[in-house]
Structure 1
Amino acid sequence: MILIISDNNDRTTIEVIRWLVSMDKNFILINDDEFFEIKVDKKRFLLQSENKAFFLDEIESMWYRRGGLQFKRLQYHNDSINIHMNEAQHWLEDYVLTTLESRRHVNKQSNSHVNKLLVLEYARKAGMQVPQYFLAENTDDVILNRTITKSITGNVILDNISEKRDGIMYTTIIREKEKKPFFTSFFQEKIEKDFEIRTFYLNGECFSMAIFSQNDEQTQTDFRKYNDEKPNRNIRYNLPKEVEMKIQKLMKLLDLNCGSLDFIKSGEVYYFLEVNPVGQFANVAYHCNYPLFKKIADYL
């Protein structure tokens, strides 16, 4: 049995499931709005939600796409008992997740969120070129028009309930100084790029796509500011073997067997930017005709 943990209606998950169905493979899909109780049935761990149930020892492989396996805990009126029961249930949950992640897997829930600052340090250890960066609470040391800022965390989506729309924190060029200090922020050297590269990594293989974002003013600094009227050109790209070897080294250091990595090519240099273990890669598959969904299904 294959276990898939994902968000509701994730298109990438749906594409992989189509392959599993065509291969006549048994799987169970867990979405992020489901809660499971841990039970024991004839000495076997049973995970049960309102409409799904499976034994832990039935799972032979697992794909952690997004979301998470969430648990429903028993609660008691006595606070002292609750403290003890929460601890006991925590260790049961930890056992279940650790056991699942010990099986054949693509990604793990336990390290699906990486620390960008540590990733950059590991990238340097792996021999990659990384743009100069620093943290600051003001713009005193910022070189205007030659420094960018972006989130220390992953993609930040801001909910604007009053206007019923969301906002994204994009990479931005610093063009003027701030008069007041602010919360610790991430600053990085602005690299003049030939083009960007998105690489999907899966168990030692790299599948790369060149993104010609610099040809459009709207996408020059951050290609996620998509221009639907004039889309960026995206084509297959082969990274030098030495760069792919450094990617493998970095992913091993991070204990990741899958992820989406971003690079900038500037002259002869490939600058590493970041890795997202659960990043989008459907665009790499579609634009470049890579069989990525089948690759994942085959591995599972």
Structure 2
Amino acid sequence: MILIFTIQYDFSSTSIVQLLTLMGHSVVRINADDSVHKFERIGSDGSIYFKNTITNESINLSKVTACWWRRTGISQNHFFSGEKEFNINQSELTFLKEKKIDYFFDEFMSLKEYIFNSLYRTTEINLGKPLFNLNRLLVLDVARRNNLKVPDYEVIINGEQLLATKQSLGRSVTKAISNGVQWESENCRFYTYTELIEDDFYERSVNTNFFPSLVTGLIEKELEIRTFYIDGSFFSMAIFSQSDKKTSIDFRKYTNNRNEPYKLPFDVEEKLKNIFTDLELNCGSADLILDKNGEYIFLEINPVGQYAMTSLPCNYNLDKKIANYLINGNIRN
């Protein structure tokens, strides 16, 4: 039995479930944003039971042979059947609300931590790990230690500092330090992007204080590279984002760029492999820039790994490689 932690509208998860099913394998898919599976119990023998509310089947997750840590997978929806306040008297409830204490959330987080760590430790085949967001600044430090060039940047807190970066960094962009806002529903999506800091914004912000924000020097790109890493291999794609003003800063804003298969130099792949090893990740997507001087500049790693955008244009058939890994522990048949 293969376990996938994900969300409802993740197209890649659906593709893998369909492929594994066609290959004759049993798959349990737990979505963070639905209530199909409900927590049932944990035993001292390490058993972790969830119930499928549609089939009424009790599933011992500790018996799975492989786990794909695609998305967060488990949320409070899986632990509550109704209002959280049941079995709490009114005086206790008033105290909790006044002090803004969410006792249930703390208990949920402890249960989730135990379930994730237990499954990751005992499951024979893990693709990814229970880590769904990387600290961008820490990853840049790891990249530097592995001798990959990274952009010049500063984290600043006010307009005076921002104006100073105009001298130290030149033309600059800003982006989230974390993974940013990523919200999806059936009908719409909302993301935060990398944005160019316009000239007039520097002057308008001089007397403004703001939350610590990342400012990065703008790199003159020849092209962008998205590479998907799995089982020691890289599958890379060149994105010609500079051919369109809409995508020159962030290629995600528009999807009509020319994309082609790309082979990174051996030494760049080796440095990237060392970064994944240091982060204890066996899969994920890395973004790089090839600048006008022919240098490769590392930007970030997404541990979830948006691989479909690389697989489809380049005909890499990564769905099959992922399915193979979940079955055999390697990407080959």
TM-score, with structure 1 as normaliser = 0.87
State the match for 1:172 in structure 2.
195
Q: Equivalent of 2:73, from 65, 68, 76? A: 68
Amino acid at match of 1:58: K
Is 2:138 aligned against 1:118? yes
Amino acid at match of 2:216: Q
DSSP 3-state at the match of 2:221: coil
Deviation at 1:57, TM superposition (A): 3.1
Deviation at 1:219, TM superposition (A): 0.8
CA distance in 1, matches of 2:147, 2:155: 22
Contact 1:56 1:96 in 2 (8 A): no
State the match for 1:57 in structure 2.
62
> Quick one: structure 1 residues 247 and 89, their matched pair in 2 at CA, closer, same or farther if it must change by over 3 Å?
same
State the match for 2:99 in structure 1.
none
CA distance in 1, matches of 2:128, 2:223: 28
CA distance in 1, matches of 2:8, 2:211: 34
Deviation at 1:49, TM superposition (A): 4.6
Amino acid at match of 1:150: K
> Quick one: structure 1 residues 295 and 158, their matched pair in 2 at CA, closer, same or farther if it must change by over 3 Å?
closer
Count residues with an aligned counterpart: 291
TM-score, with structure 2 as normaliser = 0.79
Deviation at 1:65, TM superposition (A): 1.1
Q: Equivalent of 2:262, from 197, 215, 237? A: 237
State the match for 2:297 in structure 1.
271
Q: Equivalent of 2:51, from 48, 51, 64? A: 48
User: 5+ residue gaps in structure 2?
Assistant: 94-101, 327-333
CA distance in 2, matches of 1:46, 1:158: 29
> Quick one: structure 1 residues 200 and 165, their matched pair in 2 at CA, closer, same or farther if it must change by over 3 Å?
closer
> Quick one: structure 1 residues 114 and 41, their matched pair in 2 at CA, closer, same or farther if it must change by over 3 Å?
closer
CA distance in 1, matches of 2:210, 2:180: 20
Is 2:38 aligned against 1:31? no
The 5 Å alignment of 1:69-88 reads 69-70=74-75, 71-72=78-79, 76-77=87-88
Deviation at 1:99, TM superposition (A): 2.1
CA distance in 1, matches of 2:6, 2:120: 15
> Quick one: structure 1 residues 271 and 50, their matched pair in 2 at CA, closer, same or farther if it must change by over 3 Å?
same
Amino acid at match of 2:113: D
Q: For the aligned residues, what is the CA RMSD?
A: 2.8
Contact 1:37 1:49 in 2 (8 A): no
CA distance in 2, matches of 1:13, 1:24: 17
DSSP 3-state at the match of 1:275: strand
State the match for 1:21 in structure 2.
21
Deviation at 1:3, TM superposition (A): 0.3
The 5 Å alignment of 1:131-150 reads 131-137=151-157, 138=159, 139-143=162-166, 146-150=171-175
DSSP 3-state at the match of 2:154: strand
Deviation at 1:14, TM superposition (A): 1.5
DSSP 3-state at the match of 2:251: coil
Is 2:255 aligned against 1:224? no
CA distance in 1, matches of 2:318, 2:253: 25
Deviation at 1:91, TM superposition (A): 5.1
State the match for 1:106 in structure 2.
127
Give runs of ≥4 in structure 1 deviating > 6 Å.
83-89
Percent of pairs with identical residues: 36
State the match for 1:214 in structure 2.
242
CA distance in 1, matches of 2:156, 2:282: 33
Q: 1:76-95: CA deviations, max 9, x gaps?
A: 43669xx9998777655433
DSSP 3-state at the match of 1:129: coil
The 5 Å alignment of 1:270-289 reads 270-289=296-315
Amino acid at match of 2:192: M
Q: Which has the higher helix share?
A: 2
DSSP 3-state at the match of 1:18: helix
> Quick one: structure 1 residues 208 and 154, their matched pair in 2 at CA, closer, same or farther if it must change by over 3 Å?
same
CA distance in 2, matches of 1:208, 1:125: 23
Q: 1:31-69: CA deviations, max 9, x gaps?
A: 122353242579643222523531133211100111322
Contact 1:120 1:130 in 2 (8 A): yes
CA distance in 2, matches of 1:42, 1:153: 36
CA distance in 2, matches of 1:201, 1:29: 23
> Quick one: structure 1 residues 95 and 192, their matched pair in 2 at CA, closer, same or farther if it must change by over 3 Å?
same
